[in-house]
Structure 1
Amino acid sequence: MSETLNEHLPDVSGLTLDRPIALVGLMGVGKTTIGKRLSELLHVPFRDADEEIERSAGQSITDIFAHYGEAGFRDGEQKVIARLLDEGPHILATGGGAFVQPGTREIIKQKAITIWLKTDLRVLARRVANRSHRPLLHNRNPMDVLREHEKNRYPFYALADLTVDTGDVSHAKSVERVIEALKAHLGTK
């Protein structure tokens, strides 16, 4: 893990996972980047649900949406996430809409510690602008899409076990905030 000289690694001593951690939140919040760093610190595998869906389907998320629509994508997403959560402790970065789906949310809540990574919409809009791999942004203003998602998804994200405001800070600082929240949740000092 590459850290700058000014950033230190959070203390994870005594923090042992007995089940997966599922990261939920809007696109651009850092689920993949933060998840990878958490997996390194906690010495558990990292899984990206979208990458696993693409691997399983043999096509990109964009192509899955184009061929099967969002309903077809969500069905496959639920199956892949259920399979991944049976693999023991690891960090799972979920797609932005996964936790909104009732069946998928139920599976995630049963089998994982859920953490909502939350950041100001302006920060997210800046991060996702000009990203062609996000099908829900195709030919749309990112801020408009994010506002819709805030309205429709935040009530579901609020059902996560933990909420961590990652703000507009470094990934290292965000990881530190997640570790602190996990320690408090698990009663680890």
Structure 2
Amino acid sequence: MARLKKTVAMVGMMGAGKTAVGSAVARALRVPFLDSDEEIVKAANSTIAEIFERDGEPFFRARETEVLGRLLRGTPCVLSTGGGAYLAESNRRLISEAGVAVWLRADIDLLWQRVRHKTTRPLLRTDNPRETLRKIYEARVPLYGLADIVVDSCPDLSVEEMAGRVIEALRQRPDVLEGE
């Protein structure tokens, strides 16, 4: 049985599949799955959209860093992060010190297909959400490129097949995943 030695932080754009693929990876490796956004919602007793609206993005980002630090200090797990979490240098440092970042890289068309009907994306509440998504994507890709491992999202693969790709990538890192 493979043993996870470090927390795997799933990073990438909204709609890349961090939660779906991350939870499948956690099930396959028999480790806990955590979602930093869900943990923030629990702690604040508010939705992310409400936090953004009421307290602003800087407040949300500060809570996100606190939650990431707490979760990364815990038992090794698979951790889905919010799309903006990996942009902050302090969060990248926290992840690299205690875990490994896996970027689920998806192209803009796939992302748009997955998020266009969701009302839970505060950053896309604009007059032209697809253009907003493209601008966010272009700004974030260079930072996501700093992740330790990159796994390309493929629309033809199931969540389980994508999880298999992530696990294969993790197997290349004995410091992260040990044994069969």
TM range (shorter): over 0.9
Match of 1:77 among 61, 64, 72: 64
Name the counterpart of 2:173: 185
Write out per-residue CA displacement over residues 101-122 of structure 1, whole angstroms, 9 at most, x where no aligned residue: 1111111111111100011110
Match of 1:137 among 124, 139, 147: 124
SS in 2 for 1:185: coil
SS in 1 for 2:79: strand
Aligned CA distance change for structure 1 residues 141 and 171 (closer, same or farther; 3 Å): farther
SS in 1 for 2:41: helix
Name the counterpart of 1:42: 29
State the TM-score, normalizing by the size of structure 1: 0.88
Q: CA RMSD for the aligned pairs?
A: 1.4
Task: For residue 98 of structure 1, report the CA deviation from its aligned partner.
Answer: 0.2
Question: Is residue 107 of structure 1 aligned with residue 94 of structure 2?
Answer: yes
Q: Which amino acid aligns with 1:76?
A: R
Structure 1 regions of 5+ residues with no counterpart?
1-12
Partners of 2:85 and 2:109 lie apart in 1 by 22
SS in 2 for 1:164: strand
Question: Is residue 171 of structure 1 aligned with residue 156 of structure 2?
Answer: no
Task: For residue 183 of structure 1, report the CA deviation from its aligned partner.
Answer: 0.9
Partners of 1:171 and 1:141 lie apart in 2 by 29
Retained in 2: the 8 A contact 1:166–1:177?
no
| Range moving further from structure 2, 129-138 or 178-187 | 178-187
Report sequence identity in percent. 40
Write out per-residue CA displacement over residues 112-147 of structure 1, whole angstroms, 9 at most, x where no aligned residue: 111000111101101001211110111343431222
Structure 2 regions of 5+ residues with no counterpart?
none
Q: Which amino acid aligns with 1:171?
A: V
Query: Which of structures 1 and 2 has the larger relative contact order (alpha carbons within 8 angstroms, sep 6+)?
Result: 2
Write out per-residue CA displacement over residues 130-178 of structure 1, whole angstroms, 9 at most, x where no aligned residue: 2111101113434312221222111111111100001212212211111
Retained in 2: the 8 A contact 1:118–1:167?
no
Retained in 2: the 8 A contact 1:122–1:143?
no
State the TM-score, normalizing by the size of structure 2: 0.93
Task: For residue 89 of structure 1, report the CA deviation from its aligned partner.
Answer: 0.6
| Range moving further from structure 2, 134-143 or 100-109 | 134-143
Task: For residue 188 of structure 1, report the CA deviation from its aligned partner.
Answer: 5.7
Retained in 1: the 8 A contact 2:124–2:133?
no
Q: How many residues align?
A: 176
Q: Which amino acid aligns with 2:159?
A: H
